[in-house]
Amino acid sequence: METEYISGLPVDNLTRQDIIDDLPAYLASDKKMIITSVNPQIAMQVEQYPEVRKYIQRATHRLPDGVGVVKMSKYLGGNIRERVTGIDVMDDCLHYADAHGCRIFLYGAKKEVVKKAAANIAADYPNLKVVGYIDGYTELSGDEITTRINAVHPDFLFVALGSPKQELFLEEQVDALNAKVYLDVGGTFDVLSGTVKRAPQFFIKLNLEWLYRSLKYRRPERLIQILQYMVKSWRMRGHSRQMAGNKKPQVGTGKSLKTPSEQASDRDVKKNS
């Protein structure tokens, strides 16, 4: 899997199938599969929230979840050509969990939304097990939430707090959590609950889902963020190329199961040999 650096953040050139192919190895190992989205909104937040940058850097799979990311990869001479969204990856994970009888946990959204999302998932995927859910407005502390999640031993943990809250929670708690696969999914529970409808297929196929949401929910700041992101990415192109040059591409369809420290140790051994 090839990793590119855009606007100073690592983004992986991967497909939805790559992620599906990697699931069995992670679920069978003691390594955590951390899937997170990289998009213009998140890229513009990392200066204010350095923990978000740390979480993206530690992730095993960084999704190019935004047409701005795909466009900038092309402009900067990269190879990312496919947008991979969190909501689509969650759908793939649910299908996999259903086929293999896995356990899932939902954290985030309003109480009635996550409850309805859990019920709909249980009905649509009868072979997986929804072992619990917690709404995003709970008064529980991060440690208390982790304790509740760990008590039911989920295979998949889906976190829908919106950015940067979901990345901040996971960066703080992921080492203490015992799930195998982690995915932050923004407003996906709203869609799964039926509270909000996803953009029509016309917009999705043209990579204009962001435009549909910006217009429908009157969020012009998203348009501004994309422009700011493209300017920032272009200005940082030299730095990003330098970062990419310091990282060796990994062979195979998926990420190495070695931790970053183990990979660094391997590089040191090769360097000294």
Contacts of 82 by beta carbon, 8 Å cutoff, 6+ apart: 15, 64, 70
What's the pLDDT at 257?
54
Of 198 and 196, more confident: 196
Find out whether 150 and 124 touch, Cβ atoms under 8 Å. Answer: no
Between 174 and 270, where is the model more confident? 174
* Structural tokens at position 116: 């309805």
Average pLDDT of the chain? 84
Q: What was the pLDDT predicted at 196?
A: 78
pLDDT of residue 229: 61
Q: Mean pLDDT throughout 25-33? A: 97
Three-state DSSP class for 1?
Answer: coil
> Which CATH number is 2-220+245-272's, of 3.40.50.2300, 3.40.50.970, 3.10.450.50, 3.50.50.60?
3.40.50.2300
CB 157 within 8 A of CB 183: yes
Query: pLDDT grade, residue 202 (50/70/90)?
Result: low
How sure is the predictor about 236, in pLDDT bands with cuts at 50, 70 and 90?
low
- C-alpha gyration radius of the chain: 18
CA 26 to CA 180: how far, in whole Å? 7
Q: Could you tell me which residue, 72 or 120, shows the higher pLDDT? A: 120
Distance (Å, whole) CA 5 – CA 111:
37
Is pTM beyond 0.85 here? Answer: no
